[in-house]
Amino acid sequence: MLLSSEEKTYLLALARKSIAAHLDKKKTDESAILDEIPDAARRNAGCFVTLHAADGSLRGCIGVIEPAEPLYRQIIRNAVSAGFHDNRFSPLQSSELSAIQIEISVLSVPEKAVFNTSEELIRTVRPGIDGVILKIGHKQSTFLPQVWDSLPDPESFFRQLSLKQGAAPDAWKKKDAEFFFYQAEFFSE
């Protein structure tokens, strides 16, 4: 889904307004914004909302991979969840709101990766382009394409993806490991 600069600006503002409303103990009133929602934001899409502190460090990141509901609704929910329900961080405080930077990643539908060996998987993945989902049994973890910036080596990337779901570092090499690739259109304030 390619979004125009106006649509991106609208979605970033919607994320910020949703966080501010939550800080004020309110919910974003969808009925009040229905007329202004761009058509592209009404389509179902998976998305992540990532918050960065003033120093650039991660402050929260929550998302949904599957395109189960309209993008604008995902952004409202994920912005609030990233700010207040990411269990890696304490809830966002009012004093932090003006300093955080919001990034939105709109995802394509994930496709199962086809490979026979871990070496073939490494040749198949496109660092910097592909977001990756690793499923092992009932557990699942994902890294957005932007994570390649800090983990550019595919083996390190897959090891960290295994660790993220609580598995052994080499779990990604096991026969029951399944991989799905997706791409993301990401933009920030």
Of 89, 107, 125, the last residue of a domain is 107
pLDDT band of 1, cuts 50, 70, 90: low
CATH number at residue 88: 3.30.700.20
- Residue spans of beta strands (DSSP E) within the chain: 46-52, 58-64, 101-107, 111-112, 131-136, 139-143, 177-182, 184-188
Q: Give me the residue label for tokens 């960290």.
A: 160
Please calculate the CA angle 160-186-37 and round it to the nearest 5 degrees.
Answer: 135
Condensed to tens digits (0 to 9), the pLDDT of residues 26-40 reads: 777 676 677 889 999
Q: Give me the residue label for tokens 């198949």.
A: 124
CATH number at residue 168: 3.30.1490.150
How much is the pTM? 0.88
Cα 119 from chain centre: 27
Condensed to tens digits (0 to 9), the pLDDT of residues 146-172 reads: 999 999 999 999 999 999 999 999 999
Is residue 188 one of the residues assigned to a domain? no
pLDDT band of 25, cuts 50, 70, 90: confident
Please calculate the CA angle 163-165-93 and round it to the nearest 5 degrees.
Answer: 100
Number of domains into which the chain is organized: 2
Percentage of the chain modeled with pLDDT above 90: 89
Mean of all residue pLDDT scores within the chain: 93
Contact 22, 53 (CB under 8 A): no
Report which DSSP code applies to 189: -
Of 51, 80, 107, the last residue of a domain is 107
Q: 100 with 14, same domain? A: yes
Condensed to tens digits (0 to 9), the pLDDT of residues 117-136 reads: 999 999 999 999 999 999 99
Which domain range does residue 127 map to? 111-183
